[in-house]
Structure 1
Amino acid sequence: MRRLLLLLFAVLLLALGIWAYPLLGPAVRHGALPAPEGLKNPLTLLVYGSSPEYSGYHRRAPERFRGLADTILLVRLDPGAGRVVVLSIPRDVWVNLPGYGWHKVNAASPLGGPDLMKEAVAQITGVQADRYVVVSTEALRRGVDALGGVRVCVEKPMRYRDTAAGLDIDLKPGCQVLNGEQAEGYLRFRKDALGDIGRVQRQQAFFHALKEQLLSPSGLLRLPRAVAAVEPYVQTDLTRQETGAILGFAMKRPALVSLLLPGRFGGGGWRVDEGALRELVGLYFNGEGTAEEAVLSGKRVALVFGPGQEGQVEGVREKLQALGLRVVLHPVELSPTRTEVLENGPGVLARTLGERLGVPYRISGEAVLGADLTLRLGEDFPL
């Protein structure tokens, strides 16, 4: 019996060693192992993607992490609230860059690198990032492939080809597992009516799908391989201690709140709604409470539904109108996979409507633009 236990223990150690082996290189270079206590204080990160640079037609230059900023995220890691807040900043926001004048925010990366990016985002949001993380597009491809792909619901046909950049997007609608190249196309596609804002909303949907994949049994099994695949394509000023604390915090499975910088189209870009932004920053980044009352009457709700759901819509609309809501029908090409209430804001209204209807709610920038609330109508809507 004792020999059997020793044999099982040895096999367990061997399996653990094989699982953790891909982390050896990153651990040696960065010395980052998860700290059991996690983060002790909130930490704000500027995370952005660096577009490829080219030395000639269709020839990528060596990675300098100085391409145009693609995805721009202000991330608040809050151990006290047990959550991660991700504020997506559209690249078409105009900002006055010190020493360079007015540019769209994505130009700060090639002009001045991470320091100028931090300054630009601080001007827009009023929040100064503590640290930065720059990720190349190659990291996305390799990380997704190492995870075995990420399951995403593609809401409509996406077709676009940029021969100079070597980007060929051809995605069919439907729920499917995307490999690294397909995921890059899904996240970079913006040839539709919403342009960069639609792309930002797809990125937020991808964040939630990626989180589910990472926390799945297969995702945890592949996690060391994914970390090793991504690590050479990431640049950061995080210290080893901070990296370990972040990993420890992540292992506690914090809640995810994803927000779109509030605003509207205008002035050749995205015009920020300063009042709504101050409210979100105060609540999610400064720890202030919200004075908003949960009054649904008079609020505008977008009712999202797909083909074949027309029979459900009238009954749901009557329920919403009975709560005093103004309903705007929002048909889409792909039916929602589940019922949920979305709000790009404090979340008080979404929680109230979710409780009234008996459905889950989520704070997300995926909400329909111009509406106070969004109700996605899935087949699981309670009758």
Structure 2
Amino acid sequence: MRRLFLALLLLFLVALAFWAYPLLGPAVRHGALPAPEGLKEPLTILVYGSSPEYVGYHKRAKERFRGLADTILLVRLDPKANRVVVLSVPRDVWVNLPGYGWRKVNAASPLGGPALMKEAVARVVGVRPERYVVVSLEALRALVDAIGGVRVCVERPMRYRDTAAGLVIDLKPGCRVLSGEEAEGYVRFRKDALGDIGRIQRQQAFFHALKEKLLSPAGLLRLPRAVAAVEPYVETDLTREEKGALLGLAMKRPELVSLLLPGRFGGGGWEVDQKALKTLVERYFLGEGTGEEVSLKGLRVALVYGPGQEALARRAEERLAALGLKVLPHPKDLPPGRTEVLENGPGFAAEALGKALGVPYRVSGEAVLGADLTLRLGGDFPL
């Protein structure tokens, strides 16, 4: 029996070493392992993607993380609320850059690197990032392939070809597991009516799917491999202690809140709604306004449904109208995968409607533009 126990123990240790081995390189280079206590105080980080630079036609330059900023995220890690807030900043927001005048926010990266990007986002949002993380184009592809793909629902055909950048997107509607190459196309596609805003909404949907995959048993098993795969494509000013604290926070499975910088199309870009932004900053970045009474009467709710759900949509519309809501029908080519209420705002109204209907709610920039709330009508909608 003792020999059997020792053999099993040895087998377990070998398996553990095999699992953790891909972390060895990053751990040695960065000196960071998960800190059990996690973060002690909130931390705000600017995360953005760096577009490729070229030295000639079709010839990629050596990566220096100074291309135009692509995806721009202001991330607030709040250990007290066990929450991660991700605010997406459209790259077409105009900002007055010191020494350069009025430019779109994504131009700050090639002009002044991470320091100017921090300044640009601080001027747009009113919150100054303490640290930055910039990733190259290959990071997402490497991450998704390392964890075995991510399942998402593609709502409409996505086709686009950029010969110079070597980008080919050809995704058909439906729900399936995307490879790294397909995931890159999904989050970069912006050739539709909403342009960059539609792309941001798909990115936020992808973030939620990615989080679910990473925190699943299969995702946790592949986590060391994923860290090792992404590490060469990242530049940051996070300290060794902060990296360990972030890993520790991740192990506590924090709530993910994804937001779109509130605003509207206009002025050759995205015009920020300063009043709505102030409310979001107070709620999620300053910790103010923790609760308030909300009246649903008169609010506009976009009712999202797909083919074959017309009868269900009519019944849902009746329930919404009975609550005093103004219903905006929003048919889609693909039925939603699940029923949920969305709000790109403080979340109090979404919570109230979710409780009234008996359905889950989320704070997310995936909500339909022009509506106060969005109700996605899945097959599990309670009648």
TM superposition score normalised by structure 2: 0.99
| Counterpart for residue 149 of structure 1 | 149
* Cα RMSD (Å): 0.8
**In the alignment, which residue of structure 2 is the partner of 1:275?**
275
In 2, are the aligned partners of 1:90 and 1:261 still within 8 Å (CA)? Answer: yes
Confirm whether residue 257 of structure 1 aligns to residue 290 of structure 2: no
Task: Report the Cα distance in structure 2 between the residues aligned to 1:82 and 1:218, rounded to whole angstroms.
Answer: 23
Matched residues in 2 for 1:261 and 1:291: separation?
21
Equivalent position of 1:22 in the other structure: 22
Deviation track 1:311-343 (CA, whole Å, cap 9, x = no partner) reads 111111010000000000001111101000000
- SS of the aligned residue for 1:196 comes to helix
Q: Per-residue deviation at 1:49?
A: 0.5
Aligned residues: 383
Shift of 1:290: 5.2
What is the 5 A alignment of 1:75-86?
75-86=75-86
Q: Is the 8 A contact 1:48 1:72 kept in 2?
A: yes
* Cα deviation digits, residues 274-296 of structure 1 (max 9, x gap): 00001100110011115753100
CA distance in 1, matches of 2:110, 2:334: 38
Deviation per CA, 1:136-185, whole angstroms, max 9, x where unpaired?
Answer: 11011111111111111111000000111111100001101111111111
**Separation in structure 1 between the aligned mates of residue 41 and residue 109 of structure 2, nearest angstrom:** 28
Q: Does 1:339 align with 2:339?
A: yes
Q: For the residues of structure 2 that align with 1:92 and 1:293, how far apart are their CA atoms?
A: 35
Name the residue aligned to 2:240: 240
**2:343–2:365: 8 Å Cα contact kept in structure 1?**
yes
Q: Distance in 1 between matches of 2:149 and 2:281?
A: 33
Tell me the CA shift for residue 218 of structure 1: 1.1
1:185-224 matches, cutoff 5 A? 185-224=185-224
Q: Please state if 1:158 is matched with 2:173.
A: no
Extract unaligned runs of 5+ from structure 2.
none
State the partner residue of 1:73. 73
Residues 161 and 169 of structure 2 are in contact (CA less than 8 Å); yes or no, is this contact kept in structure 1? Answer: yes
Equivalent residue, structure 1, for 2:314: 314
Counterpart in 1 of 2:105?
105
Contact 2:291 2:348 (8 Å CA) reproduced: no
Secondary structure of residue in 2 paired with 1:37 = coil
User: Which residues of 2 match residues 279-318 of structure 1 at below 5 A?
Assistant: 279-289=279-289, 292-318=292-318
Instruction: Tell me the SS of whatever aligns to 2:102.
Output: strand
CA distance in 1, matches of 2:211, 2:319: 33
Instruction: Judge conservation of contact 1:260–1:365 (CA < 8 Å) in 2.
Output: yes
Q: Which whole-Å CA distance do the structure 2 matches of 1:293 and 1:60 have between them?
A: 54
How far apart in 2 are the matches of 1:30 and 1:343? 38
Describe the superposition over 1:188-232 as per-residue Cα deviations: whole angstroms up to 9, x where unpaired. Answer: 100000000000000000000000000111111111111000000
* Alpha-carbon offset, residue 107 of structure 1: 0.5
Change (3 A) 1:74 1:168: same
Q: Deviations over 1:66-89 (max 9, x none)?
A: 011000000000001110000000
More moved, 209-218 vs 291-300 = 291-300
CA contact (8 A) 1:290 1:346 kept: no
Give the whole-Å Cα distance in 2 for the aligned partners of 1:5 and 1:273.
64
User: Which residue of 2 is the match for residue 13 of structure 1?
Assistant: 13
Identity, in percent, stands at 79
Rounded to whole Å, the distance in 2 between the matches of 1:113 and 1:93 is 18
Find the residue that maps to 1:170 and give its secondary structure. strand
Runs of 4+ in 1 over 6 A off after TM superposition: none
Q: 1:127 to 1:185 in 2, by over 3 A?
A: same
- Match of 1:319, SS state, is helix
SS in 1 for 2:111: helix
- Distance in 2 between the 1:121 and 1:280 partners? 15
